[in-house]
Amino acid sequence: MSGNEKKIIIILIITSIIAIIGAQIYKAATVFKYEGHLDEVIISVDDNSLTLREFGYYIYTTEEFVQKQAVIYDPEDPLHWWNTHFSAGLDSQFVSELAMKTAINTYLSHAIYYAEAQKAGMALSSSEEEAAQSEADEMYQKMSPLQLKKTGLNESLIYFALCRKKLASKYAEDLATNIDFSGYEDDLGSLLSGDGDYFQNVILPQHNVVINEKLMKNIKIGRITVNNT
């Protein structure tokens, strides 16, 4: 092998090493870090914005609920359930996709009903606020340090989310007594829930909803507060 051939081989090897290192650096620099986006707005409803940190309440509660099903379905590999695909024509989706839609729609219903309740002069009673505080304490104590760090949640944020949920529920109950639901088959609770037909087809279209799709597409539900070790 001539000296020139050796130089060419050495140059090729060095070039390959540089390319590999460069690819690794680029990959590390572009990896999405959930905790680095906690204070970015992920959803806006009318004049109200929700940060990823605040959305953590809905991420956590949704993941907690679905994870219980996942552990029953496959105790050794819960992600098997999260990655299960249900074929139902145009509605075919993975469990993880359904879970994310539920988290988003639950927040949307809470936000809209809460705002409408405030406009109507509705408020929580002292006992309801105390119940919300007690539930917030319980949830906060139940969350692991890793879950709290990942979501960025604190007791105050959890308390506010629960107050919003309770006032939204109070408004929905009042709404249920003043609307004609003729033609709908589901029960009133289901119809007015975030995923419900009445909420989706009648109430939601009356409001301006903006979702930060760039941020949302990086949120891998099923791997945030669960299945992340």
Please check whether residues 119 and 102 belong to one and the same domain.
yes
Please state, for a pLDDT cut of 70, what percent of the chain lies above it.
84
Tell me: pLDDT of 200 over 70.
yes
Most confident of 61-70, 92-101, 181-190: 61-70
Please check whether residues 114 and 179 belong to one and the same domain.
yes
Residue 186 neighbours by CB under 8 Å, 6+ apart: 196, 197
Between 166 and 31, whose confidence is greater? Answer: 166
Sign of CA dihedral 164, 167, 172, 178: negative
pLDDT tens track for 3-34: 565 665 566 565 655 555 554 544 444 467 99
On whether residue 80 sits in a domain, the answer given is: yes
- β-sheet bridge partners, residue 94: 85
Please check whether residues 126 and 203 belong to one and the same domain.
yes
Please state, rounded to an integer, the average pLDDT across all residues of the chain: 88
On whether residue 104 sits in a domain, the answer given is: yes
Query: Which of the 8 DSSP states describes residue 195?
Result: T
- φ, ψ for residue 45, nearest 5 deg: -125, 115
In whole angstroms, what separates CA 213 from the centre of its chain? 12
On whether residue 184 sits in a domain, the answer given is: yes
On whether residue 223 sits in a domain, the answer given is: no
Joined tokens for residue 182: 């003729």
Please check whether residues 129 and 16 belong to one and the same domain.
no
Please check whether residues 27 and 46 belong to one and the same domain.
no
Please check whether residues 13 and 114 belong to one and the same domain.
no
In this structure, what CATH number is given to the domain that contains residue 97? 1.10.4030
> Residues 90-104: what's their mean pLDDT?
90
pLDDT tens track for 137-157: 999 999 999 999 999 999 999
On whether residue 229 sits in a domain, the answer given is: no
On whether residue 71 sits in a domain, the answer given is: yes
pLDDT at site 5: 59
On whether residue 225 sits in a domain, the answer given is: no
Least confident of 106-110, 154-158, 176-180, 201-205: 176-180
Claim: this prediction has a pTM higher than 0.95: no
pLDDT band at 2 (very low <50, low <70, confident <90, very high): low
Residue span of the structural domain in which 9 resides: 1-31
For the chain, the domain total comes to 2
Please check whether residues 18 and 116 belong to one and the same domain.
no
Angle among Cα 108, 111, 114 to the nearest 5 degrees reads 140
Residue with tokens 């919003």: 164
Query: Which of the 8 DSSP states describes residue 186?
Result: S
Please check whether residues 160 and 191 belong to one and the same domain.
yes
Please check whether residues 61 and 141 belong to one and the same domain.
yes
Please check whether residues 12 and 60 belong to one and the same domain.
no
Largest CA distance in the chain: 91
Please check whether residues 44 and 17 belong to one and the same domain.
no
Residue 23 neighbours by CB under 8 Å, 6+ apart: none
pLDDT at site 196: 92
pLDDT at site 178: 86
Please check whether residues 63 and 91 belong to one and the same domain.
yes
Tell me: pLDDT of 206 over 50.
yes
